[in-house]
Amino acid sequence: MATTSESASQSTDDDLGPLERWTRGVVTDPDRRSRLYRALFYVVTVFFLVTTLFPFYWLLVLALTPNGLITGGDWSVPVPVLGEVLFPTPRGFNVAAFVEVFQQVPFHLYVFNSFVLATTTTIIVLVLASLAGYVFGRLEFPGRGVLMLAVLAISYFPPAAFLIPLFDAFLGNPITVPFLGLELFSPPRLVNTPASMIMPFSALFMPLSIFILTTFYAQIPDGLEDAARVEGTTRLGALFRVIMPLSAPGVATAAVLTFISVYNEYFFSSIMSLQNEPQQWSPLVGGILSYQTQYTTDYNLMAAASIVGVLPMLILVVVAQEKIVSGLTAGALKE
Amino acid sequence: MSTGQRTDGPTRESKRSGPLVAITRWMENLGETGFAYLLLTPVFLLLGAIALYPLLRTFELSMFQNVLADPEYVGFGNYVDLFTGEADPRFPGTTTFLPEISTSGQFPFVHVGGLMRSALAVTLVFTVVSVFFETIIGFGQALVLDQDFRGRRWVRVAIIIPWAIPIVIQGMIFYLMFHPTAGFLTDYLASWGLVAPKNTLNDPSSSLLIVTVADIWKTTAFMALLILAGLQSIDRSLYDVAKVAGANRWQQFKLITFPLVLPSLGIAILFRTIDAMRIYGLIDSVSSCTAVPSLSCMVVSTFNTNRGLASAIAFVTAGIIGIAVLGVIYQQYREGF
């Protein structure tokens, strides 16, 4: 709170201006100073709240305003003293937009696809990252550091650097060994199927889960694993029946972050489903973009669709904020 | 995956036959190193198929022209074309790879319009500006979240939410906010001369500005959380010592907080730089790749017509990001991996 500098006696010079007197007071009086810090703190906090939340308010305003009034464009509000102030407020209460969103395009199918893709990817990532987390966290073997760095390095390359060969392979073209020209085999045509998205998602988002699970699995005491082994469980059995359940918070963290990442992904989601149609497993991205490309003037529907699409993430953040915070920092700072 | 362990256990001790049991027994008898590599196999198979193979193959494709119809080996020809400007006419719109160098020889040597058309310049400008502001604002948010106050939990939720929303919805929000007809900000900002009054979202400099603001809005939270973790690892007793020594708040910040949070800050900046250089989805949903041609944008918009050239751009992008990745690896290595 207050510093140890002695609160000097107030200089009561009457010829000082009010601002100067106030500044001098703040500089010398610890009480006033901490009140100033307090006030500044609240101003800054409110500023951050407004800037992060205002865009969502704007979506709500647009969704509730009938479309005809949106294009009119005057968003000023009369305020008693200041006159007309630019501040958007809903022009009406058109809840029907939230129903229309599902009638215009099958938006629920897009969201359903997103959920299927995100859930499947999360399960695959949890299983594979558990194996790797167990190995990196609990076993000593030559090459451990190098392999961890390899996982790390691969995960940072841009998806664009993987796109072209993956797209070719998912179209069903033969896989050729780079630089040798040797054709290995022709994969099945995977574009427009969940596999064409789940595979890249798993590879892209697995490294973060590996790092989270490595940290958690390393903390389980050896004694617990040994006890399970004495009971007759295999090493893998001990991993999935003892270590994984005991690391439930870490597993949940990895699951939440993977789910969010897949649900929010854009690059492969928009490319691997060729026509962005729900029958081709196009996720949320396709649903939102179809409003932008097909119903180019239905601004209220674009906003309503965005609100519907954002709700699952909103709920997840409120429920799992601790997990998100710890997972993000663990992945980056490796504490 | 884990079918191996289901068959054994005390109850089935007697039935030790069949392939599954044989596999289980073989796995149990593996040494620690062998077992480690066995468990890592699926992970590295996936990473190899989805990341390593495509990366190498991209490099190979970048040495060919006319890949789809009649592949012709051109060595580094695509890269030469890219850096000499020969390839520029093959890009959509008026996009170039490098910024045009103005012939007048006057400062600043490139004109702004040329800069906005260049994929390399746009990506770097976007990265530097967005990461800069994210660092400053993120630091501010972290300092707020580091305080003890009522409702801290909810302030933190509010700050994280933008980070957790889908890129396409982030794009849609800013599309609607700055749309010339629907948006409420466009007229206002246009009267200040900040954005173009008409066709705002197709105007290169206006849309680059909007995309940058949108990115700052969404990803500052990530920066804030990493810096907050750094702040909270600072030993609080250092501040008590500082107070006893008579340091004021600014001195405490300058001499304790800032130097101690600097390592986390560095990591956070590297992570964000790597991520910002991959920008694609936000541009595609707010504006278009012809208005804001980032490097990833160029790959996506050319790969259907010109695999070889697109591969060259993709590999250059990977190379540029690789430099930042080396920074992260060095950092992790120093911390003793």
B205 lies in a domain?
yes
Whether residues B177 and B248 share a domain: the answer is yes
- Best mutation site among B47, B68, B201 for testing chain A: the one with the most A CBs within 10 Å? B47
Distance in angstroms (rounded) separating the CA atoms of residues A235 and A4: 60
CB-based contact, B249 to chain A, within 8 Å: yes
Query: What CATH number belongs to A97-333?
Result: 1.10.3720.10
SS3 category, A107:
helix
Is A52 close to B164, i.e. CB distance below 8 A? no
Q: Does residue B175 share a domain with residue B264?
A: yes
User: Does B225 lie in the same domain as B156?
Assistant: yes
ipTM tops the 0.90 cut: no
- Is B41 within a domain? yes
pLDDT tens per residue across span B213-224: 999 999 999 999
CB atoms A158 and B56 under 8 Å? no
Structural domain boundaries of chain A? 18-86, 97-333
Largest Cα span, chain A: 92
- B212 & B146 share domain: yes
Contacts of residue A77, Cβ cutoff 8 Å, sequence gap at least 6: A84, A85, A86, A87, A89
Tokens of B97: 């790879």
- Nearest one of B200, B222, B221 to B211, comparing CA atoms: B200
B103 touches chain A (CB under 8 A): no
CA-based nearest residue to A121, from A225, A18, A236, A257:
A257
Q: Peptide bond preceding A245: is omega within 30 degrees of 0, i.e. cis?
A: no
Residue B69, chain A, CB below 8 Å: the answer is no
| Per-residue confidence (pLDDT) for residue A3, from 0 to 100 | 43
**Which of A289, A317, A329 is closest, CB to CB, to B164?**
A317
Same domain membership, residue B149 and residue B31: no
**Residue B3 confidence (pLDDT) above 60:** no
Domain count, chain B: 2
Higher-confidence residue: A184 or A78?
A: A184
d(C-alpha A330, C-alpha A324), whole Å: 10
CATH number assigned to the domain comprising residue B162: 1.10.3720.10
Tell me the residue range of the domain where B31 lies: 3-62
CB contact under 8 A, B176 and A73: no
Residue type (1 letter), B252: Q
Domain-embedded: residue B279 = yes
Looking at B14, B43, B62, the residue that finishes a domain is: B62
User: Per mean pLDDT, which range of A264-278, B68-82, B289-303 is the poorest?
Assistant: B68-82
Distance CA B308, CA A56 (A): 42
- Is the per-residue pLDDT at A321 higher than 70? yes
pLDDT-derived band at A157, boundaries 50, 70, 90: confident
C-alpha of B330 from chain center = 18
Instruction: Note the pLDDT of residue A49.
Output: 92
Neighbouring C-alpha atoms within 13 Å toward the C-beta of B20: 11
Which residue type does B110 have?
A: V
Q: Is the pLDDT of residue A6 over 50?
A: no
Name the residue among B8, B52, B177 with its Cβ closest to that of A154: B52
A13 pLDDT tier (thresholds 50, 70, 90) = low
Q: What is the mean pLDDT of residues A278-291?
A: 89
Computed over every residue of chain B, the mean pLDDT equals 83
Give residue A153's pLDDT. 82
Q: How far is B74 from chain A (nearest CA, A)?
A: 14
Last residue of a domain, one of B30, B62, B94: B62
Q: For the residues B315-323, what does the mean pLDDT come to?
A: 89
Tell me, yes or no, whether B27 and B171 share the same domain. no
Closest CA to B154 of A290, A314, A128: A314
In a domain, B156, yes or no: yes
What is the DSSP code (8-state) at residue A239? I
Residue pair A95/A64 in contact (Cβ under 8 Å)? The answer is yes
Q: Where are the beta strands (DSSP E) in chain B?
A: 64-65, 72-73
Q: Is the pLDDT of residue A332 over 80?
A: no
Pairing mode, strands B64-65 and B72-73: antiparallel
* C-alpha closest to that of A299 among B307, B309, B117, B177: B177
B221-237 CB burial, b ≥16 within 10 A, e <16: bbbbbbbbbbbeeeeee
Helix, coil or strand: residue B73: strand
pLDDT at B9 over 60: no
B82 pLDDT band, cuts 50/70/90, is confident
Largest interatomic CA distance in chain B: 89
Beta bridge partners of A84: A78
Of A33-47, A61-75, A200-214, B212-226, the poorest mean pLDDT is in A61-75
CB contact (8 A) between residue B10 and residue A129: no
Report the chain B residue with the minimal C-alpha distance to residue A179.
Answer: B60
Q: In 10 A of CB B248, how many CB atoms?
A: 14
Residue B192 is assigned to a structural domain of this protein: yes
Find, in chain B, the residue whose alpha carbon is nearest to that of A50.
Answer: B158
- One-letter amino acid at B177 equals M
Cβ contacts of A313 on chain B, cutoff 8 Å: 161, 164-166
B73 CB neighbours in chain A (<8 A) are: none
Cβ separation B295–A210 shorter than 8 A: no
Question: pLDDT value at position A190?
Answer: 87
B142 shares a domain with B287: yes
Contacts of B144 in chain A (CB under 8 A): 41, 44-45, 48
- The answer to the question of residue B196 being in a domain is yes
pLDDT computed for residue B99 by the predictor: 78
Q: How far apart are CA A310 and CA A42, in angstroms?
A: 28
Q: Is the Cβ pair A58, B337 closer than 8 Å? A: no
Residues 110-149 on B with a CB inside 8 Å of A are 140-141, 144, 147, 149
What are the distances in angstroms from CA B222 to CA A201, A249, B139, B237?
20, 21, 11, 27
The Cα–Cα gap between B278 and B270 comes to 13
| Residues in A touching B166 (Cβ below 8 Å) | 263-266, 284-285, 288, 309-310, 313
Inter-chain contact B176–A302, Cβ cutoff 8 Å? Answer: yes
